[in-house]
């Protein structure tokens, strides 16, 4: 990378240059402000992000009043020399609203989002239903398993769909936790993408004992499968974002959440890519634990997949309306 000096920065007629702040760990854009030459010099000298306030007409240190400092790891300058990027490690939310990033809103009607939603709906319109034996309890005989790109990777989904789902879940879940936690195996692709976006480690709930002592183990029963989970990578008292590929009966998440609570593990949010609303799993988790499982894709199943909905709020509004 070519290294330049402060004198190479093209400040405008007011002596200012726009500065974008990017998270060193996640690559997310956090905020935009302005800096004069003195602010850039102070940033280099102290390692903390300094700016110039156009309204107050004075220098300001990010975090000076809020405590949400930004430790600058490097400064990038664009090809024209008239804008900068502070690549920084944030000590807290960047936005005055309390949001992690100032860029937490999107413009309505963006066509690419509509195209992606139609692509997702097409996956389920062409998906195959496989009848499996119901094993959770005595209430049913048949579980309708959906072979589809989102949760089974058959056929593989497009990169833009997975990126869209990861971005959506990232935007609607909290950032203040220690680790992302996901059960193997279908939950791992989406959980890996979210852990990368959050800049957090990924801990995995295993389906087998790895030989090392797990924090705990717990039996579970989904609609079509029974087994034992071994919880690794989490310590008592930590906080987690719980991610899975899907929820149907809620049996998997019910077992994991219940076990985590025994060890005083704080679950800040629960999210999945898809909810099979017909089986009532989200209501089970809410009634038993108080968590609203956020799911961008909602499926309604009869003889076939009869309706597919995509909700950018994770289906929260739809769920709250259903329990009134």
Q: Is the pLDDT of residue 81 over 60?
A: yes
Q: What is the mean pLDDT of the chain?
A: 92
Summarised one tens digit per residue, pLDDT across range 84-139 is: 999 999 998 899 888 889 987 777 655 678 899 999 999 988 888 888 888 788 77
Residue 160's pLDDT band (cuts 50, 70, 90): very high
Residues of the chain above pLDDT 70, percent = 97
pLDDT tops 70 at residue 198 = yes
3-state secondary structure 48-60: ECEEEECCCCEEE
CA–CA separation, 87 and 285 (whole Å)? 39
Q: What is the pTM of this model?
A: 0.75
Least confident of 16-25, 128-137, 170-179: 128-137
Closest to 268 measured CA to CA, from 298, 232, 294: 294
123: CB partners within 8 A, 6+ apart:
148, 149, 150, 157, 161
Determine the 3-state secondary structure of 320 from DSSP.
helix
Contacts of 30 (CB under 8 A, 6+ apart): 21, 22, 23, 70, 88, 90, 94, 100, 101, 102, 103
- Which domains, and CATH codes, for the chain? 6-90 (3.10.20.810), 111-322 (3.40.50.2020)
pLDDT tens sequence across 265-293 = 999 999 999 999 999 999 999 999 999 99
CA atoms of 171 and 225, how far apart (whole Å): 31
* Burial letters 223-259, b for 16+ CB under 10 A, else e: bbbeeebbbbbbeeebbbbbbbbbbbbbbbbbbbbeb
What local confidence, expressed as pLDDT, does residue 111 receive? 61
The more confident residue out of 132 and 37 is 37
Bridge-partner residues for 20, per DSSP? 32, 85
Say yes or no to pLDDT of 232 above 80. Answer: yes
Question: Which strands sit side by side in the sheet containing 17-23, from one edge to the other?
Answer: 29-35, 17-23, 84-90, 70-77
DSSP 294: B
53-80, pLDDT tens digit by residue? 999 999 999 999 999 999 999 999 999 9
CA distance 118 to 308: 10
* Cα–Cα distance for residue pair 77/87, rounded to 1 Å: 11
């Amino acid at each position: 990378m070519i290294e330049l000096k402060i004198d190479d920065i093209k400040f405008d007629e007011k002596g200012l240059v726009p500065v974008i702040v990017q998270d060193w760990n996640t690559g997310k854009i956090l905020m935009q402000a302005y800096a004069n030459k003195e602010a850039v010099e102070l940033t280099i000298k102290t390692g903390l992000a300094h700016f110039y306030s156009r309204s107050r007409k004075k220098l300001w240190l990010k975090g000076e009043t809020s405590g949400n400092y930004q430790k600058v790891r490097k400064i990038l300058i664009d090809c024209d020399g008239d804008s900068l990027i502070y690549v920084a490690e944030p000590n807290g939310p960047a936005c005055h609203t309390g949001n992690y990033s100032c860029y937490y809103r999107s413009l309505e009607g963006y066509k690419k989002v509509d195209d992606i939603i139609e692509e997702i709906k097409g996956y389920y319109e062409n998906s195959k239903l496989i009848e499996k034996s119901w094993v959770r309890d005595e209430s049913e005989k048949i579980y309708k398993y959906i072979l589809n790109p989102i949760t089974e990777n058959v056929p593989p989904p497009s990169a833009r769909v997975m990126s869209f789902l990861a971005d959506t879940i990232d935007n609607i879940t909290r950032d203040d936790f220690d680790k992302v936690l996901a059960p193997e195996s279908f939950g791992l692709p989406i959980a890996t993408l979210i852990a990368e976006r959050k800049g957090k480690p990924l801990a995995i709930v295993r389906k087998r004992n790895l030989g090392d002592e797990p924090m705990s183990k717990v039996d579970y029963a989904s609609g079509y499968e029974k087994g034992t989970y071994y919880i690794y990578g989490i310590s008592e008292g930590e906080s987690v974002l719980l991610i899975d590929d899907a929820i149907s009966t809620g049996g998997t998440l019910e077992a994991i959440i219940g076990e985590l609570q025994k060890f005083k593990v704080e679950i800040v949010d629960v999210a999945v890519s898809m909810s099979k609303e017909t089986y009532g799993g989200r209501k089970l988790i809410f009634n038993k634990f108080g968590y609203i499982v956020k799911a961008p894709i909602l499926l309604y199943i009869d003889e076939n997949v009869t309706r597919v909905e995509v909700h950018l709020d994770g289906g929260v509004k739809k769920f709250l309306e259903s329990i009134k």
